[in-house]
Amino acid sequence: MSPVSSTTPPERPGKVIALHLNYPSRAKQRGRTPAKPSYFVKPVTSISASGTPIERPAGTELLAFEGEIALIIGKQARRVSPDEGWDCVESVTAANDFGVYDLRHADGGSNLRSKGGDGFTPLGPATIPAAEVDPKNLRVRTWVNGELVQDDTTEDLIFDFGTLVADLSQLSTLEPGDVILTGTPAGSSVVQPGDTVEVEVSHGDLTTGRLVTPVVEGTTPLPEFSAQPKIDDNQREQAYGDRESAGLPAEFVLTEELKTKLTSVGTATLSAQLRKNGYNHVSIDGLGSTRPDTKLIGRARTLRYVPFREDLFKSHGGGFNAQKRAIDSLNPGDVLVMEARGEKGTGTIGDILALRAQVRGAAGIVTDGGVRDLAAVAALDIPTYHSGPHPAVLGRRHVPWDVDITIACGGATVQPGDVIVGDSDGVLVIPPHLVEKIADAAIEQERQETFIAEQVANGESVDGLYPMNEHWKARYAQWRP
C-alpha cells in the first residue's frame, strides 16, 4: 500500500478536539462505557509532522502513545445531524494523541498539561479522502520499535464519526481544517526515550503511510512555579494499560471461592482470626441489620457526609450529588459504606436510593447514621446495617461530600476495595491482602470448635479441651476429615 495522494494534514488547524473513549476494546480496559461522547481540546501548537521527535518532559516517566484516526473537516458544520456529519469530513489521517501521565494531577480534567505539549499531536504523513472510504471500515495500527501493539477497526465504534461531528457542531461551529481525534483502541502504553512510534490508517489498499515519531528525553526541568510531575500506582496502571504491564502486583479479586469460604464462617470467628493477626479495630460497631438472616459479603465503596452547613448544602446537596453518584455507580457485589459520624438524628438513605442500590446489584449498605423509610428498606433483599430509624431527610444534619475515599464508619477505618463481611453479630472490615489467610484460618477454627462441641456434648470437661492440649490435639488430628 502507498499513500493515495501528496495531500498532508493542516499544519495549523483552527481547532484540535479529542475524544476520550470510543473503541470497545479501550472501554473494556478502562472499565467503563460512556453513554455520550466527551471531549477535550488540544492546542494547535501540539501539532507536528511525521519524523518530528517528541520530547518527554524532563523529570517525567509516563509518556504514553495513543494511535488514532483523525478527521479533517472540509466544510463548515453548525448544528448538523448525524446523517450529515460524515459529509462535512474532507479526509482522514493518522494521529498520535500523546500524553504524559505525570502531569494529569494538575489538569483538573482539562488534559492541557498532560496532552497539550508541543509536538504531542503528530498527524500524517498523508491523508485519505473521506469520499473514497466507508467510515465503518477503517483500520488503525500502531507499532513501537517495529512491534505491532495496536490493531483495530471502526466497525463497532461506540460513537460513529457522523455522530461525533454532529455532536460537536451543536455548540461549536466546526470549520474547514479543524481536526477531530476519534479515540484510541486498546494497546496504548508507555514509551521511553530512544523508542520510535508509528501509526498508520488504512482502508483496503488506501493508506496514510506510517506516521513516525521518535521519542527523545527533555533536558529542561519544569520551574518551581509550575506544577511538578507526580504519579501513583493508579496513574502507572492507566498509562501502561494494565497492572501487570506497569509492574504492579495483581489486583485483589473477591472470587466466588473466597465468598464461599467467608459465607461458611461467622463474623465472630473471623474477628478472632483478625485479632490473632494483630487487627483489633476492624469492627463497625453499634449497627443493626435489616436482614440479620442474610450474610453480607462484598467490596467496599465509600461515601462521606460532612456536618450540615447552609452554604455547603446549597452547593453540594442538590441535584446529582455525591450520595446519588455513589449509589448510581455501584457495581454487582459492591457494599456502600457511609460515614455519617454516628449521627442518628436524620436518615442517610431511604427506600428509593436503597432500591436503586439493589437494582445496581449491590451486596448491601452500611451506614453509622440513620435510615428513613425503614420498613420499605427492610423489605428489600439486600441487608442494610444502620444505627436506627429516623424520619428526617438527609439535609437536616448532613452534606454529601466525597466518594471512594478512606472514611471512618462505626469506629472503623474503611478504604475502597476493603472486604466487608456482616451477619447477625455485626460487620467486619478485612484488608484485601488478609482475606484468604483469615478465611482459611477461620474455617479451621470452626472445624476445631465443632470437634470440641461434640466432645462437650458427650460429657467431656472443657479443662484441657477448650483450648485443646496435646492430648486433645492428637484426638482432633484423628477426627479431622
For 226, the grid coordinates are 509550575
- If you average pLDDT over residues 3-24, what whole number do you get? 86
79 vs 167: CA distance, rounded Å: 8
**Percentage above 90 pLDDT, the chain:** 94
Q: Which candidate, 430, 445, 407, 387, places its Cα nearest to that of 296?
A: 430
Closest C-alpha to 64, from 96, 100, 31:
100
Q: Contact, 330 vs 303, CB < 8 A?
A: no
What is the C-alpha radius of gyration for the chain, rounded to an integer number of angstroms? 29
Largest CA distance in the chain: 96
Residue 4 clears pLDDT 80, i.e. is over it = no
Asked if residue 340 lies in contact with residue 308, where contact means CB atoms within 8 angstroms, the answer is no
Nearest to 177 by CA among 96, 44, 47, 75: 75
Q: Which residues pair with 301 in a beta bridge?
A: 336
Residue 199, pLDDT score: 98
Residue 3 has pLDDT above 60, yes or no: no
The average pLDDT across 50-70 equals: 97
Return the minimum-mean-pLDDT range out of 246-255, 293-302, 338-347, 434-443.
Answer: 246-255
pLDDT score for 6:
59
Percent of the chain clearing pLDDT 70 (strictly above): 99
Note the pLDDT tens digit of each residue in 91-121: 999 999 999 999 999 998 899 999 999 999 9
Residue 455 has pLDDT above 60, yes or no: yes
> Rounded to an integer, what distance in angstroms lies between the CA atom of residue 57 and that of residue 229?
9
Has this prediction a pTM greater than 0.75?
no
Tell me the C-alpha distance between 380 and 360, whole Å. Answer: 13
Distances (CA, A) of 430 to 226, 269, 279, 448: 41, 13, 9, 22
**For range 350-366, the mean pLDDT:** 97
Three-state secondary structure along the chain? CEECCCCCCCCCCCCEEEECCCCHHHHHHHCCCCCCCCEEEECHHHEEECCCCEEECCCCCCEECCEEEEEEECCCECCCCHHHHHHHEEEEEEEECCEEHHHHHHCCCCCHHHHCCCCCEEEEEEEEEHHHCCCCCCEEEEEECCEEEEEEECCCCCCCHHHHHHHHHCCCCECCCCEEECCCCCCCCEECCCCEEEEEEEECCEECCCEEEEEEECCCCCCCCCCCCCCCHHHHHHHHCCCCCCCCCCCCCCCHHHHHHHHCCCHHHHHHHHHHCCCCCCEECCCEECCCCCCEEEEEEEEEEEECCHHHHHHHCCCCCHHHHHHHCCCCCEEEEEECCCCCCCECCCHHHHHHHHHCCCCEEEECCEECCHHHHHCCCCCEEECCECCCCHHHCEEEEEECCCEEECCEEECCCCEEEEECCEEEEECHHHHHHHHHHHHHHHHHHHHHHHHHHCCCCCCCCCCCCHHHHHHHHHHCC
Cα–Cα distance, 357 to 382 (Å, whole number): 9
Quote the pLDDT of residue 2.
58
pLDDT in tens, 113-142: 999 999 999 999 999 999 999 999 999 999
CB atoms within 10 A of CB 344: 19
Residue 318 clears pLDDT 80, i.e. is over it: yes
Average pLDDT over residues 28-40: 91
Residue range 178-186: average pLDDT?
Answer: 97
Residue type, 239: A
The pLDDT score that the predictor gives to residue 75 is 96
- Above 80 in pLDDT, residue 44? yes
- Overall average pLDDT of the 282-301 stretch: 96
The per-residue pLDDT for 9 is 86
Q: How far apart are the first and last CA of the chain?
A: 69
pLDDT at residue 306 above 70?
yes
Residue 109 has a pLDDT of 83
Q: Name the more confident of 472 and 30.
A: 472
Predicted confidence at residue 5, as pLDDT, reads 58
